Structure 1
Protein backbone atom coordinates (compact mmCIF):
# COMPACT_ATOMS: atom_id res chain seq x y z
CA UNK A 1 0.00 0.00 0.00
CA UNK A 2 2.84 2.39 0.86
CA UNK A 3 4.61 1.70 -2.43
CA UNK A 4 1.40 2.41 -4.30
CA UNK A 5 1.07 5.72 -2.49
CA UNK A 6 4.66 6.66 -3.33
CA UNK A 7 4.10 5.96 -7.01
CA UNK A 8 0.89 7.98 -7.01
CA UNK A 9 2.58 10.87 -5.22
CA UNK A 10 5.44 10.88 -7.73
CA UNK A 11 2.92 10.64 -10.57
CA UNK A 12 0.98 13.56 -9.14
CA UNK A 13 4.10 15.74 -9.09
CA UNK A 14 5.10 14.90 -12.66
CA UNK A 15 1.54 15.45 -13.87
CA UNK A 16 1.43 18.78 -12.03
CA UNK A 17 4.65 19.84 -13.77
CA UNK A 18 3.18 18.79 -17.12
CA UNK A 19 -0.01 20.79 -16.50
CA UNK A 20 2.07 23.81 -15.42
CA UNK A 21 4.13 23.54 -18.61
CA UNK A 22 0.94 23.32 -20.68
CA UNK A 23 -0.43 26.42 -18.94
CA UNK A 24 2.74 28.40 -19.58
CA UNK A 25 2.83 27.33 -23.23
CA UNK A 26 -0.82 28.24 -23.71
CA UNK A 27 -0.83 31.66 -22.05
CA UNK A 28 2.81 32.78 -21.64
CA UNK A 29 4.78 31.05 -24.43
CA UNK A 30 7.45 33.74 -24.59
CA UNK A 31 8.64 32.82 -21.09
CA UNK A 32 9.93 29.51 -22.50
CA UNK A 33 12.19 31.20 -25.07
CA UNK A 34 15.23 31.51 -22.81
CA UNK A 35 14.87 27.95 -21.54
CA UNK A 36 14.53 26.51 -25.05
CA UNK A 37 17.31 28.51 -26.67
CA UNK A 38 19.70 27.85 -23.79
CA UNK A 39 19.32 24.08 -23.97
CA UNK A 40 19.44 24.05 -27.78
CA UNK A 41 22.75 25.91 -27.56
CA UNK A 42 24.13 23.44 -25.01
CA UNK A 43 23.06 20.38 -27.04
CA UNK A 44 24.79 21.64 -30.17
CA UNK A 45 27.91 22.83 -28.38
CA UNK A 46 28.39 19.46 -26.66
CA UNK A 47 28.15 17.38 -29.85
CA UNK A 48 29.36 19.32 -32.88
CA UNK A 49 29.23 17.35 -36.10
CA UNK A 50 27.31 14.41 -34.62
CA UNK A 51 24.54 14.56 -37.24
CA UNK A 52 24.69 10.93 -38.34
CA UNK A 53 24.64 9.62 -34.76
CA UNK A 54 21.60 11.63 -33.70
CA UNK A 55 19.75 10.92 -36.95
CA UNK A 56 20.33 7.21 -36.26
CA UNK A 57 19.34 7.53 -32.60
CA UNK A 58 16.11 9.39 -33.29
CA UNK A 59 14.93 6.50 -35.50
CA UNK A 60 14.29 4.42 -32.36
CA UNK A 61 11.26 6.64 -31.74
CA UNK A 62 9.98 6.62 -35.33
CA UNK A 63 6.52 5.08 -35.92
CA UNK A 64 7.88 2.11 -37.91
CA UNK A 65 10.43 1.25 -35.21
CA UNK A 66 7.84 1.62 -32.47
CA UNK A 67 5.33 -0.60 -34.26
CA UNK A 68 7.96 -3.31 -34.82
CA UNK A 69 9.20 -3.19 -31.22
CA UNK A 70 5.64 -3.16 -29.88
CA UNK A 71 4.71 -6.27 -31.88
CA UNK A 72 7.90 -8.05 -30.78
CA UNK A 73 7.40 -7.38 -27.08
CA UNK A 74 3.67 -8.03 -27.17
CA UNK A 75 4.47 -11.38 -28.72
CA UNK A 76 7.13 -12.14 -26.12
CA UNK A 77 4.80 -11.29 -23.25
CA UNK A 78 1.80 -13.12 -24.69
CA UNK A 79 3.56 -16.36 -25.63
CA UNK A 80 5.39 -16.44 -22.30
CA UNK A 81 2.04 -16.33 -20.49
CA UNK A 82 2.47 -12.75 -19.34
CA UNK A 83 -0.92 -11.68 -20.66
CA UNK A 84 -1.49 -8.94 -18.09
CA UNK A 85 1.88 -7.44 -18.95
CA UNK A 86 1.01 -7.59 -22.65
CA UNK A 87 -2.31 -5.86 -21.91
CA UNK A 88 -0.69 -3.09 -19.85
CA UNK A 89 2.02 -2.63 -22.49
CA UNK A 90 -0.55 -2.43 -25.29
CA UNK A 91 -2.77 0.04 -23.41
CA UNK A 92 0.24 2.24 -22.72
CA UNK A 93 1.33 2.37 -26.35
CA UNK A 94 -2.10 2.72 -27.96
CA UNK A 95 -3.77 4.88 -25.32
CA UNK A 96 -1.03 7.40 -24.60
CA UNK A 97 1.15 7.39 -27.72
CA UNK A 98 -1.52 6.62 -30.30
CA UNK A 99 -4.49 8.59 -28.96
CA UNK A 100 -3.80 11.03 -26.13
CA UNK A 101 -0.58 12.60 -27.42
CA UNK A 102 -1.96 13.39 -30.92
CA UNK A 103 -5.05 14.96 -29.30
CA UNK A 104 -2.85 17.20 -27.14
CA UNK A 105 -0.80 18.16 -30.21
CA UNK A 106 -3.96 19.24 -32.02
CA UNK A 107 -5.04 21.30 -29.02
CA UNK A 108 -1.82 23.33 -28.76
CA UNK A 109 -0.89 23.34 -32.47
CA UNK A 110 2.61 24.53 -31.66
CA UNK A 111 4.68 25.01 -34.83
CA UNK A 112 8.00 23.24 -35.21
CA UNK A 113 11.07 25.31 -34.30
CA UNK A 114 12.84 27.21 -37.07
CA UNK A 115 15.95 28.09 -35.08
CA UNK A 116 18.08 25.46 -36.87
CA UNK A 117 17.74 23.46 -40.10
CA UNK A 118 15.70 20.26 -39.75
CA UNK A 119 17.87 17.18 -40.26
CA UNK A 120 14.78 14.96 -40.51
CA UNK A 121 11.37 15.61 -42.02
CA UNK A 122 8.34 16.11 -39.77
CA UNK A 123 4.82 17.33 -40.55
CA UNK A 124 2.84 17.23 -37.31
CA UNK A 125 2.76 19.82 -34.54
CA UNK A 126 5.54 20.17 -32.01
CA UNK A 127 4.17 19.91 -28.45
CA UNK A 128 4.48 17.49 -26.81
CA UNK A 129 7.19 15.54 -28.59
CA UNK A 130 5.77 12.26 -29.84
CA UNK A 131 9.21 10.66 -29.80
CA UNK A 132 9.69 11.70 -26.16
CA UNK A 133 6.29 10.36 -25.11
CA UNK A 134 6.73 7.14 -27.06
CA UNK A 135 10.26 6.43 -25.85
CA UNK A 136 9.22 7.05 -22.25
CA UNK A 137 6.16 4.82 -22.57
CA UNK A 138 7.78 2.04 -24.63
CA UNK A 139 11.17 1.75 -22.95
CA UNK A 140 9.86 3.01 -19.60
CA UNK A 141 7.37 0.14 -19.47
CA UNK A 142 10.23 -2.26 -20.15
CA UNK A 143 12.19 -0.71 -17.28
CA UNK A 144 9.28 -1.39 -14.92
CA UNK A 145 8.85 -5.01 -16.05
CA UNK A 146 12.58 -5.80 -16.33
CA UNK A 147 12.33 -8.43 -13.53
CA UNK A 148 10.51 -10.60 -16.08
CA UNK A 149 13.66 -10.63 -18.21
CA UNK A 150 16.44 -10.72 -15.61
CA UNK A 151 16.36 -12.35 -12.19
CA UNK A 152 19.92 -11.23 -11.48
CA UNK A 153 19.77 -7.81 -9.81
CA UNK A 154 23.00 -6.51 -11.36
CA UNK A 155 22.02 -7.48 -14.92
CA UNK A 156 18.56 -6.01 -14.38
CA UNK A 157 20.04 -2.71 -13.18
CA UNK A 158 22.41 -2.52 -16.15
CA UNK A 159 19.54 -3.13 -18.57
CA UNK A 160 17.40 -0.49 -16.86
CA UNK A 161 20.22 2.06 -17.02
CA UNK A 162 20.76 1.35 -20.73
CA UNK A 163 17.05 1.83 -21.42
CA UNK A 164 17.03 5.02 -19.36
CA UNK A 165 19.97 6.39 -21.36
CA UNK A 166 18.18 5.43 -24.59
CA UNK A 167 15.09 7.39 -23.51
CA UNK A 168 17.24 10.42 -22.68
CA UNK A 169 19.21 10.06 -25.90
CA UNK A 170 16.08 9.99 -28.05
CA UNK A 171 14.86 13.16 -26.35
CA UNK A 172 18.19 14.92 -26.95
CA UNK A 173 18.20 13.73 -30.56
CA UNK A 174 14.91 15.50 -31.24
CA UNK A 175 16.48 18.77 -30.11
CA UNK A 176 19.67 18.14 -32.06
CA UNK A 177 17.94 17.37 -35.37
CA UNK A 178 16.06 20.66 -35.00
CA UNK A 179 12.46 19.44 -34.98
CA UNK A 180 11.60 20.04 -31.32
CA UNK A 181 12.03 22.64 -28.63
CA UNK A 182 13.43 21.29 -25.33
CA UNK A 183 10.09 22.17 -23.73
CA UNK A 184 8.41 19.80 -26.23
CA UNK A 185 10.69 16.98 -25.12
CA UNK A 186 10.20 17.83 -21.45
CA UNK A 187 6.44 17.80 -21.94
CA UNK A 188 6.58 14.40 -23.63
CA UNK A 189 8.72 12.92 -20.87
CA UNK A 190 6.45 14.31 -18.13
CA UNK A 191 3.30 13.01 -19.82
CA UNK A 192 4.78 9.55 -20.31
CA UNK A 193 6.27 9.11 -16.83
CA UNK A 194 3.08 10.43 -15.20
CA UNK A 195 1.04 7.68 -16.82
CA UNK A 196 3.56 4.99 -15.94
CA UNK A 197 3.77 6.05 -12.30
CA UNK A 198 -0.01 6.11 -11.95
CA UNK A 199 -0.72 2.87 -13.81
CA UNK A 200 2.17 0.65 -12.68
CA UNK A 201 0.85 0.01 -9.12
CA UNK A 202 -2.50 -1.17 -10.52
CA UNK A 203 -0.78 -3.42 -13.03
CA UNK A 204 1.47 -4.88 -10.32
CA UNK A 205 -1.48 -5.43 -7.98
CA UNK A 206 -3.52 -7.25 -10.64
CA UNK A 207 -0.51 -9.29 -11.71
CA UNK A 208 0.19 -10.39 -8.14
CA UNK A 209 -3.42 -11.59 -7.75
CA UNK A 210 -3.25 -13.36 -11.12
CA UNK A 211 0.06 -15.06 -10.29
CA UNK A 212 -1.28 -16.25 -6.93
CA UNK A 213 -4.30 -17.80 -8.66
CA UNK A 214 -2.04 -19.54 -11.14
CA UNK A 215 0.08 -20.98 -8.32
CA UNK A 216 -3.10 -22.14 -6.54
CA UNK A 217 -4.22 -24.06 -9.60
CA UNK A 218 -0.97 -26.06 -9.81
Structure 2
Protein backbone atom coordinates (compact mmCIF):
# COMPACT_ATOMS: atom_id res chain seq x y z
CA UNK A 1 0.00 0.00 0.00
CA UNK A 2 1.42 3.41 -0.92
CA UNK A 3 2.42 5.43 2.16
CA UNK A 4 0.02 8.21 1.21
CA UNK A 5 -3.08 6.03 1.47
CA UNK A 6 -2.93 5.22 5.22
CA UNK A 7 -2.25 8.88 5.92
CA UNK A 8 -5.36 9.92 4.00
CA UNK A 9 -7.36 7.24 5.79
CA UNK A 10 -6.60 8.92 9.12
CA UNK A 11 -7.73 12.36 7.92
CA UNK A 12 -11.38 13.22 8.42
CA UNK A 13 -13.35 14.14 5.31
CA UNK A 14 -14.24 17.51 6.82
CA UNK A 15 -10.61 18.30 7.57
CA UNK A 16 -9.48 17.27 4.08
CA UNK A 17 -12.21 19.40 2.52
CA UNK A 18 -11.14 22.40 4.59
CA UNK A 19 -7.51 21.95 3.52
CA UNK A 20 -8.54 21.77 -0.14
CA UNK A 21 -10.70 24.89 0.22
CA UNK A 22 -7.84 26.79 1.86
CA UNK A 23 -5.49 25.78 -0.96
CA UNK A 24 -8.07 26.78 -3.57
CA UNK A 25 -8.65 30.16 -1.90
CA UNK A 26 -4.93 30.91 -1.67
CA UNK A 27 -4.40 29.82 -5.28
CA UNK A 28 -7.24 32.12 -6.37
CA UNK A 29 -5.82 35.01 -4.36
CA UNK A 30 -2.41 34.48 -5.94
CA UNK A 31 -3.96 34.42 -9.41
CA UNK A 32 -5.87 37.65 -8.79
CA UNK A 33 -2.78 39.33 -7.38
CA UNK A 34 -0.69 38.30 -10.39
CA UNK A 35 -3.32 39.46 -12.89
CA UNK A 36 -3.71 42.75 -11.01
CA UNK A 37 0.04 43.39 -10.95
CA UNK A 38 0.23 42.83 -14.71
CA UNK A 39 -2.72 45.13 -15.37
CA UNK A 40 -4.88 42.33 -16.77
CA UNK A 41 -7.81 43.05 -14.43
CA UNK A 42 -8.20 46.68 -15.54
CA UNK A 43 -10.84 46.05 -18.22
CA UNK A 44 -13.17 43.95 -16.09
CA UNK A 45 -12.55 46.14 -13.02
CA UNK A 46 -13.57 49.21 -15.02
CA UNK A 47 -16.63 47.53 -16.53
CA UNK A 48 -17.95 46.27 -13.19
CA UNK A 49 -17.27 49.55 -11.40
CA UNK A 50 -19.10 51.58 -14.06
CA UNK A 51 -21.96 49.04 -14.11
CA UNK A 52 -22.92 50.35 -10.66
CA UNK A 53 -23.11 53.95 -11.99
CA UNK A 54 -25.80 55.74 -13.94
CA UNK A 55 -24.94 55.30 -17.67
CA UNK A 56 -23.15 58.38 -18.93
CA UNK A 57 -22.71 59.82 -15.42
CA UNK A 58 -19.96 58.01 -13.46
CA UNK A 59 -20.37 60.50 -10.59
CA UNK A 60 -23.86 59.14 -9.80
CA UNK A 61 -24.28 55.66 -8.25
CA UNK A 62 -27.29 53.60 -9.29
CA UNK A 63 -30.44 54.05 -7.26
CA UNK A 64 -31.88 56.80 -5.08
CA UNK A 65 -29.83 58.52 -2.34
CA UNK A 66 -31.26 56.09 0.22
CA UNK A 67 -29.36 53.25 -1.47
CA UNK A 68 -26.07 55.09 -1.10
CA UNK A 69 -26.85 55.71 2.57
CA UNK A 70 -27.65 52.02 3.04
CA UNK A 71 -24.37 51.05 1.37
CA UNK A 72 -22.45 53.25 3.78
CA UNK A 73 -24.20 51.50 6.66
CA UNK A 74 -23.36 48.09 5.20
CA UNK A 75 -19.73 48.99 4.55
CA UNK A 76 -19.38 49.88 8.24
CA UNK A 77 -19.92 46.18 9.01
CA UNK A 78 -16.40 45.64 7.63
CA UNK A 79 -14.85 48.56 9.48
CA UNK A 80 -12.48 48.19 12.40
CA UNK A 81 -14.81 49.87 14.91
CA UNK A 82 -17.82 47.61 14.29
CA UNK A 83 -15.69 44.47 13.97
CA UNK A 84 -13.85 45.21 17.20
CA UNK A 85 -17.10 45.81 19.08
CA UNK A 86 -18.76 42.65 17.74
CA UNK A 87 -15.66 40.55 18.40
CA UNK A 88 -15.48 41.86 21.96
CA UNK A 89 -19.17 41.03 22.45
CA UNK A 90 -18.75 37.43 21.24
CA UNK A 91 -15.53 36.98 23.23
CA UNK A 92 -17.43 38.15 26.30
CA UNK A 93 -20.33 35.80 25.57
CA UNK A 94 -18.00 32.81 25.24
CA UNK A 95 -16.24 33.76 28.47
CA UNK A 96 -19.56 34.03 30.32
CA UNK A 97 -20.49 30.57 29.01
CA UNK A 98 -17.32 29.29 30.63
CA UNK A 99 -15.49 28.83 27.31
CA UNK A 100 -12.60 31.10 28.22
CA UNK A 101 -10.00 29.33 26.09
CA UNK A 102 -12.27 29.52 23.05
CA UNK A 103 -12.76 33.22 23.78
CA UNK A 104 -9.00 33.77 23.90
CA UNK A 105 -8.51 31.83 20.66
CA UNK A 106 -11.15 33.95 18.92
CA UNK A 107 -9.48 37.18 20.00
CA UNK A 108 -6.10 35.98 18.71
CA UNK A 109 -7.57 34.69 15.42
CA UNK A 110 -9.30 37.97 14.59
CA UNK A 111 -6.40 40.14 15.76
CA UNK A 112 -3.85 38.22 13.69
CA UNK A 113 -6.17 38.42 10.68
CA UNK A 114 -6.21 42.19 11.00
CA UNK A 115 -2.41 42.18 11.04
CA UNK A 116 -2.33 40.02 7.90
CA UNK A 117 -4.63 42.50 6.15
CA UNK A 118 -2.33 45.43 6.95
CA UNK A 119 0.74 43.52 5.75
CA UNK A 120 -0.94 42.53 2.46
CA UNK A 121 -2.10 46.08 1.72
CA UNK A 122 1.37 47.47 2.44
CA UNK A 123 2.99 44.88 0.18
CA UNK A 124 0.85 45.53 -2.92
CA UNK A 125 0.27 49.29 -2.41
CA UNK A 126 -2.28 49.59 -5.24
CA UNK A 127 -3.85 53.04 -5.80
CA UNK A 128 -7.55 53.51 -5.18
CA UNK A 129 -9.95 53.76 -8.16
CA UNK A 130 -9.91 57.18 -9.84
CA UNK A 131 -12.79 56.65 -12.29
CA UNK A 132 -15.51 57.73 -9.86
CA UNK A 133 -15.76 59.88 -6.73
CA UNK A 134 -15.20 58.12 -3.42
CA UNK A 135 -18.46 58.11 -1.46
CA UNK A 136 -16.72 57.40 1.85
CA UNK A 137 -13.37 58.27 3.36
CA UNK A 138 -10.37 56.04 2.61
CA UNK A 139 -6.90 56.20 4.10
CA UNK A 140 -4.97 53.13 2.94
CA UNK A 141 -4.06 51.46 -0.35
CA UNK A 142 -6.53 49.46 -2.41
CA UNK A 143 -5.38 45.83 -2.77
CA UNK A 144 -6.68 43.68 -1.22
CA UNK A 145 -9.84 45.29 0.16
CA UNK A 146 -9.32 45.49 3.91
CA UNK A 147 -13.05 45.75 4.62
CA UNK A 148 -13.79 42.68 2.48
CA UNK A 149 -10.95 40.69 3.96
CA UNK A 150 -11.68 41.62 7.57
CA UNK A 151 -15.39 40.98 7.05
CA UNK A 152 -14.49 37.45 5.91
CA UNK A 153 -11.93 36.94 8.68
CA UNK A 154 -14.09 38.30 11.47
CA UNK A 155 -17.66 37.35 10.59
CA UNK A 156 -16.74 33.84 9.38
CA UNK A 157 -14.49 33.18 12.39
CA UNK A 158 -17.16 34.49 14.75
CA UNK A 159 -19.69 32.22 13.03
CA UNK A 160 -17.41 29.20 13.36
CA UNK A 161 -16.85 29.81 17.06
CA UNK A 162 -20.56 30.41 17.70
CA UNK A 163 -21.39 27.28 15.70
CA UNK A 164 -18.96 25.23 17.80
CA UNK A 165 -20.86 26.30 20.93
CA UNK A 166 -24.26 25.59 19.35
CA UNK A 167 -25.71 22.06 19.74
CA UNK A 168 -28.22 22.29 16.87
CA UNK A 169 -26.94 21.71 13.32
CA UNK A 170 -29.50 24.06 11.82
CA UNK A 171 -28.16 26.88 14.01
CA UNK A 172 -24.60 26.07 12.98
CA UNK A 173 -25.64 26.42 9.34
CA UNK A 174 -27.53 29.62 10.15
CA UNK A 175 -24.51 31.35 11.72
CA UNK A 176 -22.15 30.45 8.89
CA UNK A 177 -24.67 31.40 6.18
CA UNK A 178 -25.41 34.73 7.85
CA UNK A 179 -21.69 35.50 8.13
CA UNK A 180 -21.15 34.69 4.44
CA UNK A 181 -24.02 36.98 3.39
CA UNK A 182 -22.67 39.86 5.48
CA UNK A 183 -19.20 39.34 3.99
CA UNK A 184 -20.56 39.45 0.43
CA UNK A 185 -22.63 42.56 1.18
CA UNK A 186 -19.63 44.42 2.60
CA UNK A 187 -17.56 43.68 -0.51
CA UNK A 188 -20.30 44.81 -2.88
CA UNK A 189 -20.70 48.03 -0.90
CA UNK A 190 -17.01 48.85 -1.35
CA UNK A 191 -17.34 48.73 -5.14
CA UNK A 192 -20.65 50.59 -5.10
CA UNK A 193 -19.11 53.41 -3.07
CA UNK A 194 -16.25 53.64 -5.57
CA UNK A 195 -13.45 53.02 -3.09
CA UNK A 196 -12.30 49.62 -4.42
CA UNK A 197 -11.83 47.84 -7.69
CA UNK A 198 -13.81 44.56 -7.90
CA UNK A 199 -10.52 42.61 -8.00
CA UNK A 200 -9.59 44.20 -4.65
CA UNK A 201 -12.78 42.83 -3.16
CA UNK A 202 -12.39 39.36 -4.69
CA UNK A 203 -8.84 39.17 -3.33
CA UNK A 204 -10.01 40.27 0.11
CA UNK A 205 -12.75 37.65 0.15
CA UNK A 206 -10.43 34.80 -0.85
CA UNK A 207 -7.61 35.67 1.53
CA UNK A 208 -10.03 36.34 4.38
CA UNK A 209 -11.92 33.09 3.78
CA UNK A 210 -8.64 31.15 3.71
CA UNK A 211 -7.68 32.67 7.06
CA UNK A 212 -11.08 31.88 8.61
CA UNK A 213 -10.89 28.27 7.38
CA UNK A 214 -7.36 27.96 8.76
CA UNK A 215 -8.58 29.23 12.12
CA UNK A 216 -11.36 26.63 12.06
CA UNK A 217 -8.79 23.87 11.44
CA UNK A 218 -6.57 25.14 14.24
CA UNK A 219 -9.59 25.21 16.57
CA UNK A 220 -10.29 21.54 15.82
CA UNK A 221 -6.64 20.66 16.40
CA UNK A 222 -6.61 22.51 19.73
CA UNK A 223 -9.86 20.81 20.70
CA UNK A 224 -8.30 17.38 20.16
CA UNK A 225 -5.35 18.39 22.31
CA UNK A 226 -7.73 19.57 25.02
CA UNK A 227 -6.54 23.17 24.70
CA UNK A 228 -10.00 24.62 23.97
CA UNK A 229 -13.50 23.49 24.81
CA UNK A 230 -14.99 20.70 22.67
CA UNK A 231 -17.53 21.42 19.95
CA UNK A 232 -21.15 20.77 20.76
CA UNK A 233 -23.32 19.01 18.23
CA UNK A 234 -25.49 16.09 17.24
CA UNK A 235 -28.94 17.65 17.42
CA UNK A 236 -30.84 18.33 14.17
* TM-score tier after normalising by the smaller chain length: 0.7 to 0.9
Deviations 1:71-109 (A, max 9, x none): 111111222222332233222221121x12111111111
Q: Distance in 2 between matches of 1:36 and 1:22?
A: 13
- Match runs of 1:104-183 below 5 Å: 104-148=120-164, 150-183=166-199
Quickly say closer, same or farther: Cα 1:202–1:148, change in 2 above 3 A: closer
CA-CA distance at 1:209 after TM superposition: 4.1
In structure 2, runs of 5+ residues without a counterpart are 1-10, 55-60, 231-236
> Which structure carries more relative contact order (alpha carbon 8 Å, separation 6+)?
1
CA contact (8 A) 1:132 1:185 kept: yes
Q: Distance in 2 between matches of 1:52 and 1:76?
A: 31
Partner SS, residue 41 of structure 2: helix
Q: Distance in 1 between matches of 2:174 and 2:83?
A: 22
Quickly say closer, same or farther: Cα 1:52–1:65, change in 2 above 3 A: same
CA contact (8 A) 2:74 2:189 kept: yes
Aligned to 2:87: 70
Quickly say closer, same or farther: Cα 1:96–1:159, change in 2 above 3 A: closer
Aligned to 1:204: 220
Q: Distance in 1 between matches of 2:213 and 2:176?
A: 16
CA contact (8 A) 1:110 1:125 kept: yes
Going by fraction, where is helix more abundant, 1 or 2?
Answer: 1
| Greater Rg by CA | 2
TM-score by length of 2: 0.80
CA-CA distance at 1:44 after TM superposition: 4.3
- Match runs of 1:47-66 below 5 Å: 48-49=63-64, 50-66=67-83
Q: Distance in 2 between matches of 1:42 and 1:143?
A: 32
CA contact (8 A) 2:163 2:175 kept: no
Aligned to 1:14: 25
Q: Which shifted more, 15-24 or 176-185?
A: 15-24
